[in-house]
Chains A and B, each alone.
Chain A
Amino acid sequence: MASVLDETPRTNDGTLARLVRSLRWYYVAMIAFLLIYPLITGGFWTVQIGAQTLILGTIALSLMLLAGYGGMVSLSQLTIAGLAGYMIAVFGGASGGLGLGWPPFVAIPMAIAVATLFATLVGVISVRTEGIYTIMITLAVGMAFYFFVLQNREIFNAFDGFAGLRPPLVLGINMREANNFYFFCLAIAGFGYCLVLYLSRAPFGLALQAVRDNPRRMRALGFNIQAHRVAAHALAGFLAALGGMLLVWMNGQISPGSVGIAPLISILIIAILGGIRHPVGPFIGALIFVLLDNFAMQLIGGDRFNTVIGLIFLVIVLFSPDGVLGLWKMFRNRLRRQPQDSVESRTE
């Protein structure tokens, strides 16, 4: 249960002491694992599995923020990410002398800003709708963007897209090196995760969840619920844009296929698969998705990835509408219940 008072300090000790006390063993273990992971694995596992999970997780996290806290299922989060990727190519330049060739410290913030602005516009358009209509409008935005980049040669280079997109050198650190890139992705994913988790109990996040549960009551408390929803779209857009930046650097290229309907739906699948009740869900979903994406072929042979992911998705969602997170909760509750074997514990 979210509460403004959870973790609100009642004592006057320092922030660090509080932080250390609030750390659980599994957090420590998880952080340690994420940090040594690239050192015990190699290039493919570090980038294709590790970094990609973090990147897709970050984009799906933006959907989790919108859908989980805000009750707004947006299908255009990958479109936002793709726009950020495209703008990095357009502003920063790509192979073949394409793009404007601005220096990275201008091109990258500009690209993020354009994508965030676009997300805000999508928000303005879609927040007046509810439920299935939000899904349809955002899907329409995604499809429109796909067809636009496919046909527009002046800016988006049509079906050829852009190639040769590599992360810049930051403070002399070579981001193209696998481990460095992984850590960079980890830092951004960690930032997004902590931000969303922290916001869940900050006034903005609390109000967003309350708007999801009872918009009419929120209006009668003085909240401008449309503004709150648009702000959520802007923030989610910013997170998606960060993910899009990493994605384009990992792939080294971007083309209309990167923002087509299949990857659009993938983000939804990742978020739902993992669970949208907690920001860790999208990352769990992304891990499952990336593992299947890479190994389904070896396991069953042929191009059966979509069948496999579809079936797994179906099974998990059938058993638990809250995805893997929900399964985990059910499992934990059952473990706790067993020793008691009383009637009351089952009726809660």
Chain B
Amino acid sequence: MATVQPVKARSAAAYALELQGVSRSFGALKALSDIDLRVASGERRAVLGANGAGKTTLFNAITGDFPPTSGRIRFFGEDVTSLPAHERIRRGLRRTYQSSQLFHGLTVLDNLFLAVRGVSRGRFSFLRPTRNDSSLEAAEEMMETVRMTHLANTSVSELAHGQQRQLEIGMALAGAPRFILFDEPAAGLASAERAELITVLDNLPEHIGYIIIEHDLDVALRVVTYCTIMHNGALFKEGRPEEIEQDPDVQRIYLGGGHG
């Protein structure tokens, strides 16, 4: 890639995420082929592409849900390729899922409590949290951030779709995230909910970078500074939002895929 390359060792941590030749196959299907990607720390990036382009697979490779079959992944300079998923999360990586992955038998607060505990001490604690337990307080704070405080004791199974998406984001913000992968957070949201989502994303602390997969260009291009287009498991194009919006190839591949 045509970026300026300063001294290698020092520059490493300037990138939140560095992918080198990352590929992932499912049997004969090559869902990701030879992806080289760099995202600076604090950068906010959109990944666009038609259905089946490999966007979610890219996220799965980065988090370790489905580790890459070849290639290397660095997270803030550290090679995490061979680390299990939970170790990557403990280093500050977070994600949301395209279809909400929540604990339906538990309440909103419990879901957030688990998210907080997952990246702090006391995962194996036999003691029930007390009122001023720090994880519980952090979970309550997170509820405030995603505006769900009034739903604290509501079971997830009783939440509306939009509220589940909101909670999914809250789960990703728990602890001290350094970089977040949002997989179509706006999918199925009403326009008011979309506006709220954009507010939440824009209000994230500046040092937290993220990649957002989003079919809705109105959302995607409004919150990010740079875009990557994927096509058939490979990187296809990169550019600033306004360039991407005008690009005829993108119009054809992406918008022609039934969205927009």
- Residues on A lying within 8 angstroms of B by beta carbon are 1-5, 7-10, 198-199, 201-204, 206-207, 209-210, 213-214, 216-225, 227-228, 231
Q: How far is the CB of B255 from chain A (nearest CB, A)?
A: 31
Give the residue of B65, B109, B117, B127 whose beta carbon is less than 8 angstroms from that of A220: B65
Q: How far is the CB of A17 from chain B (nearest CB, A)?
A: 16
Q: A3-B107, A222-B175, A225-B86 are in contact. List 13 more A-B contacts (CB 8 A).
A: A1-B105, A2-B106, A4-B128, A8-B128, A206-B106, A206-B114, A214-B101, A219-B64, A219-B85, A221-B89, A222-B86, A227-B124, A231-B124
Of A199, A201, A210, A217, which is in contact with the most chain B CB atoms at under 10 Å from its CB?
A217
**Chain A residues within 8 Å of B110, by CB:** 2-5, 206
Does B122 belong to the interface (CB within 8 Å)? yes
B133-175, CB < 8 A from A: 135-136, 153, 155, 171, 174-175
13 contacts between A and B (CB under 8 A): A1-B106, A2-B105, A3-B109, A4-B129, A9-B131, A202-B128, A204-B125, A207-B118, A219-B84, A220-B86, A220-B97, A225-B86, A228-B124
Closest to B119 in A: A222
* Complex-state Cα separation, A221 to B102, whole angstroms: 11
**Chain A residues within 8 Å of B84, by CB:** 219, 224
**Chain A residues within 8 Å of B119, by CB:** 221-222
Q: How far is the CB of A196 from chain B (nearest CB, A)?
A: 11
Report yes or no: B86 in contact with A223, Cβ–Cβ below 8 A. yes
Our count of residue pairs bridging A and B at CB distance below 8 angstroms stands at 122
Given the known interface contacts A8-B128, A202-B128, the answer about A221 and B107 at a Cβ–Cβ threshold of 8 Å is no
Of B89, B107, B110, B175, which is in contact with the most chain A CB atoms at under 10 Å from its CB?
B110
Report yes or no: A203 in contact with B153, Cβ–Cβ below 8 A. no
- Residues on B lying within 8 angstroms of A by beta carbon are 63-65, 84-86, 89-90, 95, 97, 101-107, 109-110, 113-115, 117-119, 122-131, 135-136, 153, 155, 171, 174-175
Give the residue of B90, B115, B131 whose beta carbon is less than 8 angstroms from that of A10: B131
Closest to B109 in A: A5
Report yes or no: A4 in contact with B113, Cβ–Cβ below 8 A. yes
Give the residue of A8, A9, A210, A219 whose beta carbon is less than 8 angstroms from that of B114: A210
Q: How far is the CB of B215 from chain A (nearest CB, A)?
A: 22
Of A201, A203, A210, A220, which is in contact with the most chain B CB atoms at under 10 Å from its CB?
A220
Given the known interface contacts A2-B106, A203-B129, the answer about A219 and B86 at a Cβ–Cβ threshold of 8 Å is yes
Q: How far is the CB of B1 from chain A (nearest CB, A)?
A: 29
Given the known interface contacts A203-B117, A221-B115, A222-B175, the answer about A210 and B126 at a Cβ–Cβ threshold of 8 Å is no
Q: How far is the CB of A6 from chain B (nearest CB, A)?
A: 9
Q: Is the interface of B mostly helix, strand, loop or mixed?
A: loop
Report yes or no: A220 in contact with B122, Cβ–Cβ below 8 A. no
Report yes or no: A202 in contact with B127, Cβ–Cβ below 8 A. yes
Report yes or no: A221 in contact with B171, Cβ–Cβ below 8 A. yes
Give the residue of B63, B109, B117, B136 whose beta carbon is less than 8 angstroms from that of A207: B117
* Complex-state Cα separation, A8 to B109, whole angstroms: 13
Q: How far is the CB of A79 from chain B (nearest CB, A)?
A: 25
Q: How far is the CB of A158 from chain B (nearest CB, A)?
A: 40
Closest to A9 in B: B131
Q: How far is the CB of A239 from chain B (nearest CB, A)?
A: 13
**Chain B residues within 8 Å of A198, by CB:** 126, 128
* Complex-state Cα separation, A222 to B63, whole angstroms: 11
* Complex-state Cα separation, A210 to B114, whole angstroms: 9
Report yes or no: B123 in contact with A207, Cβ–Cβ below 8 A. yes
Give the residue of A8, A204, A214, A224 whose beta carbon is less than 8 angstroms from that of B86: A224
Q: How far is the CB of B184 from chain A (nearest CB, A)?
A: 16
Give the residue of A202, A214, A218 whose beta carbon is less than 8 angstroms from that of B118: A218
**Chain B residues within 8 Å of A203, by CB:** 113, 117, 122-129, 135
**Chain B residues within 8 Å of A228, by CB:** 123-124
Q: How far is the CB of A64 from chain B (nearest CB, A)?
A: 17
Report yes or no: A207 in contact with B95, Cβ–Cβ below 8 A. no
Closest to B168 in A: A217
* Complex-state Cα separation, A225 to B122, whole angstroms: 14
Q: How far is the CB of B194 from chain A (nearest CB, A)?
A: 24
* Complex-state Cα separation, A231 to B125, whole angstroms: 11
Closest to A199 in B: B126
Given the known interface contacts A198-B128, A203-B129, the answer about A220 and B153 at a Cβ–Cβ threshold of 8 Å is no
Closest to A198 in B: B128
Report yes or no: A210 in contact with B117, Cβ–Cβ below 8 A. no
